[in-house]
């Protein structure tokens, strides 16, 4: 034996035997991200606490500016109607208590006209507050209904199958309807 053979044998004894060749697949298992399923109770609670928060939770971001534009409009009309109502109410009270009282409406409106305007603006104020309350409830309902219907399947695959159903009395025929 020459030295080259012994070196080669030492290398052979120190090497690790390779495992039999296995077929390796280079596929990546794609984990599908579960679709977002909003909780209707949470959506309703969020919208009740802060208008638009339920829509944010439902990922319907475009509805938030619409809600806040409605709130701004409601605040404007409540303030305007209250201001007009207060002006006419004050003028009416002052005219009743002192028939010769002069104000900015003295040469423009009679006492019955001021009473009519006061009543009209009180009615407008009440209607504005009512419409604001209805809008508040509607934005809550919008968040809840969208959360319920977010993952509603509207496909045409409605299956109708007959299956045997085992019971204690024996096997009976059963009707199963699958909505997929």
Whether 28 is covered by a domain: the verdict is no
Give residue 133's domain range: 36-152
Whether 93 is covered by a domain: the verdict is yes
Whether 86 is covered by a domain: the verdict is yes
What confidence tens digit (pLDDT) does each residue in 138-173 have?
A: 999 999 999 998 877 666 666 666 666 777 777 676
Whether 43 is covered by a domain: the verdict is yes
Tally of domains in the chain: 1
Whether 110 is covered by a domain: the verdict is yes
| pTM for this prediction | 0.64
Contact 92, 115 (CB under 8 A): yes
What confidence tens digit (pLDDT) does each residue in 7-41 have?
A: 445 545 555 555 555 555 566 666 777 778 889 99
What confidence tens digit (pLDDT) does each residue in 73-87 have?
A: 999 999 999 999 999
């Amino acid at each position: 034996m020459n030295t080259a053979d012994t070196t080669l044998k030492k290398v052979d004894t120190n090497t690790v035997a390779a495992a039999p060749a296995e077929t390796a697949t280079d596929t990546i298992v794609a984990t599908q991200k579960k679709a977002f399923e909003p909780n209707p109770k949470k959506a309703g609670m969020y919208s009740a606490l802060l208008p638009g928060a339920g829509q944010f939770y439902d990922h319907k971001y475009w509805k938030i500016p619409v809600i806040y534009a409605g709130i701004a409009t409601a605040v404007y009309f409540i303030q305007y109607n209250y201001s007009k109502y207060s002006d006419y109410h004050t003028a009416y009270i002052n005219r009743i208590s002192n028939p010769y009282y002069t104000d900015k409406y003295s040469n423009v409106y009679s006492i019955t006209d001021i009473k009519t305007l006061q009543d009209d603006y009180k009615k407008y104020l009440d209607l504005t507050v009512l419409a604001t309350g209805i809008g508040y409830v509607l934005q809550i309902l919008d968040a809840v209904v969208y959360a319920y219907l977010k993952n509603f399947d509207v496909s045409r695959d409605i299956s109708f199958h007959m299956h045997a159903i085992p019971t204690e009395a024996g096997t009976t025929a059963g009707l199963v309807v699958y909505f997929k």
